[in-house]
Amino acid sequence: MSGFDTIIEGVLLGGVYALFALGLSLIFGIMRLVNLAHGDLILLAAYLVLSATTALGLPLAAASLLAVAAMFVLGFVLQRLVLERVLGDDILPPLLVTFGLSIVIQNGLLLGYGADSRRLQAGAFESSSVTLAPGLSVGLAPLMALVTAIAAVALLQLIFYRTSLGRAFRATADNPAIAQLMGINERNVYAIAVGLSLAVSVIAAVVFGIRASFDPSIGPARLLYAFEAVIIGGLGSLWGTLAGGIVLGLAQAIGGRINPEWQILAGHLAFLAVLMVRPRGLFPARRT
Amino acid sequence: MSVESIDMPASREQRAVEAPVWQVRVGTRLSRVAAVAGIALVVVLAALPAFAPRNLIQDLIFVLTMLTLAQLWNVLAGWGGLVSVGQQAFVGLGAYALFAGIVMAGLDPVAAIPLAGLFAAVIAAVLGPLLFRLEGPYFAIGSWVAAEALRLICAQFKSLGGGTGMSISPSELSQMVGLKTVQALLGLRPAAARDVLVYWLALLLAVLVTLGIYAFIRSRHGLALAASRDNAAAARSVGVRTARIRHMLWIAVAFATGMVGAVVYLQKARISPDAAFSVTDWTAYVIFIVVIGGVRTIEGPMVGVLLLWGLVTYLAQYGSLYLVVLGTLAILIMLFMPRGAWGAAARRWQVQLFPTQRWLGRSR
């Protein structure tokens, strides 16, 4: 039974990693931008929600909605004021700017909140569990994380393939110049994409913050997990990213079961192994 | 037809072939003056331990090792387009190889330094083909993942202190090659003499790496590298082996980075996985130096490292705030002065101490 437990644990953990990865995947897919501050922005979102619940006394759901709005605006402004100026053929400037942003956010959070571990309070929800089968009960919070991840992927798929915004995203991703000729405002599309990426990151932050404690230094590790999920799953496919997150979660859970010190290492090694045998990921998009 | 039999107009043509009107030049008069000044500066720096206080020597070890790392990152990311955020991997590997050589194999520390570089180069050669499968920006995070994996693996070696790290006792370092000579030469105690020896090693590495990169960039291989970065397909079409040149550069940079790591940790004499593989210390600072000084110039990292030294001296006491300032400064420079301090100055006043661009000029 312990082996089965490990698999359940890994799959549920994978839901969180998929949520980390969606925002990263989104803006890379649309604007070829790799945001090195992605992990720290997730942490920023978690602290925003924390402040809204503790300082303003809002319930978690309301605080999350507030943070979604705030992070969307932040993403929009960030793209318009900063990232837009450095996007281009040279890959160096956007990487360096987002790396600088990562350092600023991480140390800014350290200044504002200190190095103590924090956690989002979700009341009775965080400790309750559901019985799926006789002798098999699963924590409600981890289960909700996976369900949320699936819902988020489904929602993003819906936006991408069923709305005019999604059409604008896909057109701009394919060819920004021609998309502009067709009357699409490229600057707005990019800014909305970054905003949406940060809004999704809030969901990732809340789901993660209920499950585990966090401190300002763990942002970069979130970025690495997100990245690994994207690459394992295969570029350009959101469902692939979800699968990639689950593979990463499984690798970590199995590694951690063998030896607790190997949990993170097992994830990294799984990533390198996938890179070795399937460099395009396990479930790459059919279209290139 | 012999040369003697050519009439006047033809012989003028002949002369034109001997001395073409257009000529590609790299060096300038100023660059030759700079070369002489550079040699003089190195001589002064080499003689410095004879009269400088110990804390200045320690500061200069920091400056020289960071300068070397910055030059290496600059050639890798700036000229080569391999934007690595994982160079701490090779600093850490070099440091761990040094400690393993001293503690486990009983090697002389100075002799272990090139072996540490070699070890880093071997790991780079293995990782390279894997990471190069990641396109452009994804290579950056991929290199970071590799560095994290190596950090976690190094933490597994219980004989090297595991996750908490270990120290080397001064007695183990007292038999180091050259230490007795330095002690006798300058009349210093072992601890101070070790700093001087490390300082000279750091100076030697900084000079060799800088000259090596300068010569490489000015050579046809440097041109081939820049071509691979700007347009790989076009470079391949004129016969540049883009994959090979990038792989060789990646390995060579890892070799030198590993040696720098070994030199740094020879002075510290204390190692831990978190410190030796720190992304802030060995990559963020290094990128800051290159960005603030000027990407794709030899002078940029030199200017950048002096600016960082100033900021460290006055701001490091503020901890996190200091890093917020550094990060913000780097972002602002990327936005408004993308060529960096030296790049902007060089453009404004048309000065180049170590020119790397090729100028097409009329021959005299």
DSSP-based three-state secondary structure for A271: helix
Which chain B residues are closer than 8 Å to A108 by Cβ?
320, 324
Q: Which of A281-285, B6-10, B140-144 has the lowest mean pLDDT?
A: B6-10
What CATH number is associated with residue A92? 1.10.3470
Contact A92 B148 (CB under 8 A): no
Q: What is the pLDDT of residue A48?
A: 96
Residue of chain B whose Cα is closest to the Cα of A262: B152
Which chain B residues are closer than 8 Å to A103 by Cβ?
280, 284, 323-324, 326-327, 330
Residues A5-30, mean pLDDT to the nearest whole number: 92
Residue type, A84: E
Tell me: pLDDT of A39 over 90: yes
Confidence class of residue B299 from pLDDT cuts 50, 70 and 90? very high
Find which of A28, A30, A36, A91 to mutate to test the B interface (most B CBs within 10 Å of its CB).
A91
Residues A226-241, mean pLDDT to the nearest whole number: 90
Q: What is the dihedral of CA B313, B319, B320, B325, to 10 degrees?
A: -20
Of B151-155, B164-168, B184-188, B311-315, where does the model show the most confidence?
B151-155
Contact A95 B138 (CB under 8 A): no
Residues A248-264 have pLDDT tens digits of: 999 999 999 999 889 99
Residues A68-77, mean pLDDT to the nearest whole number: 97
Count of the separate structural domains present in chain A: 1
Distance (Å, rounded) from C-alpha A4 to C-alpha B250? 43
- To 10 degrees, what angle do helices A38-54 and A2-31 make? 110
Helix (H) or strand (E) holding A138: strand A136-139
Name the residue among A82, A107, A228 with its Cβ closest to that of B335. Answer: A82
Confidence class of residue B327 from pLDDT cuts 50, 70 and 90? very high
Distance from CA of B57 to the nearest CA of A (A): 29
Distance (Å, rounded) from C-alpha A114 to C-alpha B289? 27
- pTM confidence score: 0.91
Q: What is the pLDDT of residue B2?
A: 44
Q: What is the pLDDT of residue B11?
A: 47
Tell me: pLDDT of B13 over 60: no
Q: Where are the domains of chain B?
A: 20-51+285-364, 52-273
Residue A202 lies in a domain: yes
Residues B51-77 have pLDDT tens digits of: 889 999 999 999 999 999 999 999 999
Of residues A69 and B361, more confidence is placed in: A69
Burial of A181 by CB count in 10 Å (0-12 exposed, 13-18 middle, 19+ buried)?
A: exposed
Tell me: pLDDT of B16 over 60: no
Q: What is the DSSP letter of A202?
A: H
Residues B14-20, mean pLDDT to the nearest whole number: 58
Burial of A163 by CB count in 10 Å (0-12 exposed, 13-18 middle, 19+ buried)?
A: exposed
Residues A166-194, mean pLDDT to the nearest whole number: 90
Helices (H) and strands (E) in chain A, counts: 12, 2
Tell me: pLDDT of B6 over 50: no
Tell me how many degrees the CA angle B166-B127-B271 measures, rounded to the nearest 5.
Answer: 10
Q: Is 0.85 exceeded by the ipTM?
A: yes
Name the residue among A96, A111, A264 with its Cβ closest to that of B334. Answer: A96
Three-state DSSP string of chain B:
CCHHHCCHHHHHHHHHHHCCCEEEECCCHHHHHHHHHHHHHHHHHHHHHHCCCHHHHHHHHHHHHHHHHHHHHHHHHHHCCCCCCCCHHHHHHHHHHHHHHHHCCCCCHHHHHHHHHHHHHHHHHHHHHHHCCCCHHHHHHHHHHHHHHHHHHHCCCHHHCCCCCEECCHHHHCCCCCHHHHHHHHCCCHHHHHHHHHHHHHHHHHHHHHHHHHHHHHCHHHHHHHHHHHCHHHHHHCCCCHHHHHHHHHHHHHHHHHHHHHHHHHHHCEECHHHHCCHHHHHHHHHHHHHHHCCCCCHHHHHHHHHHHHHHHHHHHHCHHHHHHHHHHHHHHHHHCCCHHHHHHHHHHCCCCCCCCCEEEECC
Distance (Å, rounded) from C-alpha B297 to C-alpha B345? 12
Q: Could you tell me if A96 lies within 8 Å of chain B, comparing CB atoms?
A: yes
- Where in the sequence is the domain holding A73, given as residue range(s)? 2-119+140-277
Which chain A residues are closer than 8 Å to B334 by Cβ?
86, 93, 96-97, 100
For chain B, the average pLDDT equals: 89
Name the residue among B137, B280, B335 with its Cβ closest to that of A95. Answer: B137
Q: Which of A190-194, B168-172, B201-205 has the lowest mean pLDDT?
A: B168-172
Residues A9-22, mean pLDDT to the nearest whole number: 93
Residues B97-150 have pLDDT tens digits of: 999 999 888 899 999 999 999 999 999 999 999 999 988 788 999 999 999 999
Tell me: pLDDT of B213 over 90: yes
Find which of B85, B320, B321 to mutate to test the A interface (most A CBs within 10 Å of its CB).
B320
Q: Could you tell me if B164 lies within 8 Å of chain A, comparing CB atoms?
A: no
Residues B136-162 have pLDDT tens digits of: 788 999 999 999 999 999 999 988 888
Quote the percentage of chain B above a pLDDT of 90: 59
Contact A224 B145 (CB under 8 A): yes
Q: Are A173 and A31 a contacting pair, CB within 8 Å? A: yes
Q: What is the pLDDT of residue B326?
A: 92
Residues A40-46, mean pLDDT to the nearest whole number: 97
Q: How many CB atoms lie within 10 A of CB B149?
A: 23
Which chain B residues are closer than 8 Å to A220 by Cβ?
144, 279
Name the residue among A86, A106, A268 with its Cβ closest to that of B149. Answer: A268
Tell me: pLDDT of A202 over 90: yes
Residue type, A27: I
Q: Which of A99-113, A226-240, B166-180 has the lowest mean pLDDT?
A: B166-180
Q: How many CB pairs under 8 A join A and B?
A: 117
Distance (Å, rounded) from C-alpha B331 to C-alpha A98? 8
Residue type, A73: V
Which chain A residues are closer than 8 Å to B331 by Cβ?
82, 97, 100-101, 104
Q: Which of A1-15, A93-107, A191-205, B23-37 has the lowest mean pLDDT?
A: B23-37
* Partners of B255 in the β-ladder: none
Distance (Å, rounded) from C-alpha A203 to C-alpha A45? 9
Q: What is the pLDDT of residue B246?
A: 92
Q: Could you tell me if A99 lies within 8 Å of chain B, comparing CB atoms?
A: yes
Distance (Å, rounded) from C-alpha A145 to C-alpha A211? 9
